[in-house]
Copies of this chain bind each other. A is one copy, B any other.
Amino acid sequence: MGARTGWKDVRDRIHAQILNGRYEPGDKLPRDADIAEDLMCARATVQRAMQDLSEKGLIERRRKGGTHVRRDPVARATLSIPLMRREIEDGGGVYGYRLIAREMAEPPERVRRAMGAGAPAELLHVTALHLSDGAAHALEDRWVNTAVVPEILVIDLSTISANEWLVGNKPYSRFTLEISAERADPGTAALIGAEPGAALLMIDRTTWAGEAPITAVRARMAPGYTLPTRS
């Protein structure tokens, strides 16, 4: 016979009942306990299923208020931002890396705002190119808080990317992420192999260790890049 009902089975069953109209947007679902009795499983199993549907934005749960099918389901997708090298290698390309510039400098206003008050006046500024099969994949424009990771000053960044070194040596506790679009200025266009004015996808990420900002990086992706998502 088939396997015993697991929480994923319960989840799919409820999901199917929402799709086929058994429960419509705004409808109230039975209490977990009743569903559990119907399906002859433990309440915890139903609870786990419901929690998953809730995280996916399909239902809304309130204590005492019960469980309702959302009227405006929110489409939620997960973005995975891997190490540049991994992203390229997983795509079947040969990874290449080129350090463009490395210097201590005062960051622009944008970076100061992203890092907040906890950043010193001078940061390490690193510009580098990530290549896939020899072609530009992304241009990385990074600012590193040397007060938090002074070790990076003695690293040979022409051999290993700051991206890779930081990920392997300085775990972060949280990060912010912003996705936008920008036209390529002439300098960027030349480096990334695009026409000046081309539309580039831009990924801004700032990572933190507790209250201290570690690094703020802006990655401009080569033309035609599509951000991988998983729903």
Contacts and interface: CB of A to CB of B under 8 A. Distances in A.
A215 to B, nearest CB: 12
Given A79-B229, A199-B200, A18 B180 contact: no
Contacts of A129: none
A81 B86 contact: no
Pick the 10 closest A-B CB pairs, nearest first. A199-B199, A181-B181, A179-B227, A181-B199, A75-B81, A181-B201, A177-B229, A183-B199, A77-B79, A77-B177
Given A25-B168, A77-B79, A79-B229, 10 more contacts: A15-B173, A74-B80, A75-B81, A76-B78, A179-B179, A180-B224, A181-B199, A183-B183, A183-B197, A183-B198
Which residue, A81, A177, A198, has most C-beta atoms of chain B within 10 A? A177
Given A77-B79, A183-B198, A201-B181, A167 B18 contact: no
A206 B218 CA distance: 29
B80 A75 contact: yes
